[in-house]
Amino acid sequence: MTLPLILGSGSKYRREILDKLHLKYEVVKPDIDESAITSESPQQLVGRLAEAKARAVEKLMAHKQAVIIGSDQVAVCDGQILGKPGNAENAVKQLLGFVGKTVTFYTGLAVLNTATEECEVRVEPFNVEFRHLSENEIERYVELEEPFDCAGSFKSEGLGISLFNSLKGNDPNTLIGLPAIALLDMLRTHKINPLNKE
């Protein structure tokens, strides 16, 4: 019997990816402290937070057996970890800092089987090379897409694509917050496969 699938995230972007993959799932939003630990690398941070989100959901479910997905993402530029901007002013400032540079996004992905307590964690990198942009272009982009809840202040699946020279990584879904290729590989271990007939 296949265990139910739970997405441990309030992100509409992650839900959209799971919907496109034809997966049946429930959403349980975890509430955890997402602060970085001193001397923690970006990879360690997103891996730890992805697992912490999955385990927080497990506690909320009161011993119900399920497969839980946890995910977390940060952007890194010039050695600085950057999160979601929250407002237009911060988004413009963040994007101005990316002009002509390569920004690396790290997405942590955890899949926890509460029946076996197995938890696999992967961290997927993705590099984005920003083109030389004017401040007016950046302000117009922020005005049009309002990317305030996105790490890095852009939506690569929308007009954000106009900000880049190139994208390099295994899976463009990684930029949206959920590496689908890795996720499907991890879920097949738990007999969850949208290509299998029920």
The C-alpha angle with vertex 82 and arms to 160 and 70, in degrees rounded to 5, equals 85
Q: Which amino acid is at 14?
A: R
- 26 by DSSP, 3-state: which? strand
Q: Which residues contact 196 (CB under 8 A, 6 or more apart)?
A: none
d(CA 28, CA 67): 12
Task: Report the C-alpha gap between 168 and 126 in whole angstroms.
Answer: 6
Euclidean distance between CA atoms 119 and 51, whole angstroms? 8
Distance (Å, whole) CA 45 – CA 22:
29
Respond yes or no: is residue 33 known to be catalytic.
no
Q: What are phi and psi of 61, to 5 degrees?
A: -85, 0
Of 155, 191, 188, the C-alpha closest to 173 is 155
**Which string of b and e fits 109-120 if b means at least 16 CB within 10 Å?**
bbbbbbeeeebe
Single out the catalytic residue among 19, 33, 72, 171: 72
Catalytic residues: 72
